[in-house]
Chain A
Amino acid sequence: MTEHIDRVRTYALVFAVLIALTVLTTAVAFVDLGPFSVVVALAIAVGKMLLVALFFMHIRHSTRLTRLVVLGGLLWLIILILLSLTDFATRTWVGVPGR
């Protein structure tokens, strides 16, 4: 297996972007966006996660099996959120007698 090594400059750039995104998250927290506060914060977090996985964890240059493992993890996160939402999103749909 050939090891692909990124240049130090690439890593430094990614690091700078991660720090900038952290600052952005903090800054956005002071702006009242209503329900979109959470959406924006999560969107930034997903972007940072992708940067870390693709560059720092070398997923960009990994084998298909490794990528499958990462996708599996993401898929399981989706299962956790989606099936939990079957509860949280539908709790008020049916009235419970006495409540």
Chain B
Amino acid sequence: MITAAVQEREHYLNASYGIKSWLLTKDHKRIGLLYLATITFFFFLGGAFATLIRVELLTPQGDLVSSETYNKLFTMHGVAMVFFFLIPAIPATLGNFFLPMMIGARDLAFPRINLLSWYLLVLGGLLSLYAMLAGGVDTGWTFYTPYSTSYSNTWVIATALGIFVAGFSSILTGLNFIVTVHRMRAPGMTWFRLPLFVWSTYATSVIQVLGTPVLAVTIILLFCERVFHLGIFDPTRGGDPVLFQHLFWFYSHPAVYIMVLPAMGVISELVSVYSRKPVFGYHFVAFASVAIAVLGFLVWGHHLFVSTQSLYAGLVFSFLSYFVAIPSAIKVFNWTATLYKGSISYATPMLYAFGFIGLFTIGGLTGLFVAALGFDVHVTDTYFVVAHFHYIMVGGTIMAYLGGLHYWWPKMTGRMYPEGWAKLSALVIFLGFNLTFFPQFVLGYLGMPRRYHVYPPEFQVLHVLSTAGASVLAVGYVIPMIYFIWSLRYGKVAGANPWNATGLEWQTASPPPAHNFDQSPVVTHEAYDYSTVLGEVEVG
């Protein structure tokens, strides 16, 4: 009667009951689950907008929605996905749940601030949601001026304020993680024994703390110009529209690394555990995270190549952009080297890791294409760029997020997901993703501009392929949603360490007790030392 025994043991889920015990919780694990529910909502909301976009693009005519509605659809897709799903996705859910456990802490350094940061995300989300329901916003998720300040008559301010508030959620989460990693590590957990997920989440936190305030300032300036008509960005009032782009991308380019660095951390964990080897070149991978965080702040001008930005600035930013490829490539090569002579198992999370490595490589290499000044002039604002960043954000971040969710699901819930269905959905997602976005590279190269819902008939075949792929992708995303919920009741009981992993989070029960560890762990080994778990095979 293992099941009965597990259900009776006290853990973080049954330590207290009732809505209040969740809404006022200070337990990082419960807050992680609150985040999980919130971002899942926004993921499916953003997905619904994407569905309407893809259905509209089935035909060259604009026969489903008007141009105005289409503008709102892609804007709200971007806002929901970037600010309310991708940025909080891995740090605020998996990071919140596992960062303290991985360093052997009982909670984050500031549990109340952690709860506050969730409320801020919800508040920001509700503000933006209100804007969407009241009539939407049509500026694109980038809010370029002077359109957003002087011309658009949609809900710019409500949406921007929602993002402003959610930004503080992001800052507080980053701050909390930084202090936690500095102050709360278990005895023996030195910096170079930290799991690489902690390193990459730490680097992400640094970006969140240094970058997000600039977004807040930018939104305030936008507010001042739109509401008080101060001339900051609008050239007719003596402002400079390119200044907005500088300020916006000073945050929003590093924000790409807020999205993808934690994903890389997840992949480091997965590649190691499913090939039963320490990550090749641990120090290089750890420092590559820090290098990406720093270099990410030096490249934003590559979003401005076709604006009135000076040609010299263009040269500087183009040159600096190439440097990001170095730490990124270090990671990809080191993951590949980790596989060498490893004892590889093709469990679902590993399938997602393989998907990430391939798709991130394509996304990263096409990033080098668009970082080249001359080529970028050809493909700016085309579907080539759309395909490029979806390979990073969907092919990279969401693949890693789902991989991490599968990997840690047994720890979070105490239950296994159904492996057969999970493998099937990983495959469906991979195929659907490529069918959706690969044709968009071709479309963009041929000249199909982004943000248009009417297009020349010769592009239709590629658009139909892309929409077909999106349907497959949607099915792939719904399947895990169903079986994860199913597994909560019917999944096989997982046991403490179903993967025989080395991390501290696997050395406590599943689901973990309210204070994570019955006894404070003492760390005596490097990360990923599989000699410590071999032979202790536990079957759930």
What is A's interface to B at a CB cutoff of 8 Å?
65, 72-73, 76, 79-80, 83-84, 86-91, 93-94, 96
- A86 contacts B210, CB within 8 Å? no
* Count of chain B residues with a beta carbon within 8 Å of a chain A beta carbon: 21
Compute how far the CA of A20 lies from the CA of B59 in the bound complex, rounded to whole angstroms.
67
Contact yes or no, B298 A87, CB < 8 A: no
Interchain CA distance A89-B311 in the complex, whole Å: 11
A93-B310 contact given A83-B316, A86-B316, CB 8 Å threshold: yes
Q: Across the interface, which residues of A come within 8 angstroms of B301, CB to CB?
A: 83, 86-87
Nearest Cβ in chain B — how far from A61, in angstroms?
19
Interface string of B181-205 (1 = CB under 8 A from A): 0100000000000000000000000
Q: How many A-B residue pairs have CB under 8 A?
A: 49
Hey, which chain B residues are within 8 Å of A93, CB to CB? Answer: 310-312
Q: Is there contact, CB below 8 Å, between B242 and A87?
A: yes
Distance A86 CA – B300 CA, assembled complex (angstroms): 12
Interface positions of B (Cβ within 8 A of A): 182, 210, 214, 242-243, 246-247, 250, 297-298, 300-301, 304, 308-313, 316-317
Given A65-B182, A83-B301, residue A76 in contact with residue B210 (CB < 8 A): yes
Q: Which residues of A lie under 8 Å from residue B298 when comparing CB positions?
A: 79, 83
Q: How far is the CA of A89 from the CA of B312 in the complex (A)?
A: 10
Give which listed residue, B182, B246, B297, B312, contacts A84 with CB less than 8 A. Answer: B246
26 contacts between A and B (CB under 8 A): A65-B182, A73-B210, A79-B297, A83-B298, A83-B300, A83-B301, A83-B317, A84-B246, A86-B301, A86-B310, A86-B316, A87-B242, A87-B246, A87-B309, A87-B310, A87-B312, A88-B310, A90-B310, A90-B311, A90-B312, A90-B313, A91-B308, A91-B310, A93-B310, A94-B311, A96-B311
B308 proximity list for chain A (CB < 8 A): 91
A83-B298, A87-B242, A87-B301 given as contacts; is B310 within 8 A of A72 (CB)?
no
| Distance from B242 Cβ to chain A, minimum over Cβ atoms (Å) | 7
* A80–B250 touching, CB < 8 Å: yes
Q: Are B297 and A94 in contact (CB under 8 A)?
A: no
* CB pair A86 B312 closer than 8 Å: yes
CA distance A83 to B245 in the complex (A): 13
Q: Which residue of chain B has the shortest Cβ distance to A73 in the bound complex?
A: B210
Q: Smallest CB–CB gap between B238 and chain A, Å?
A: 15
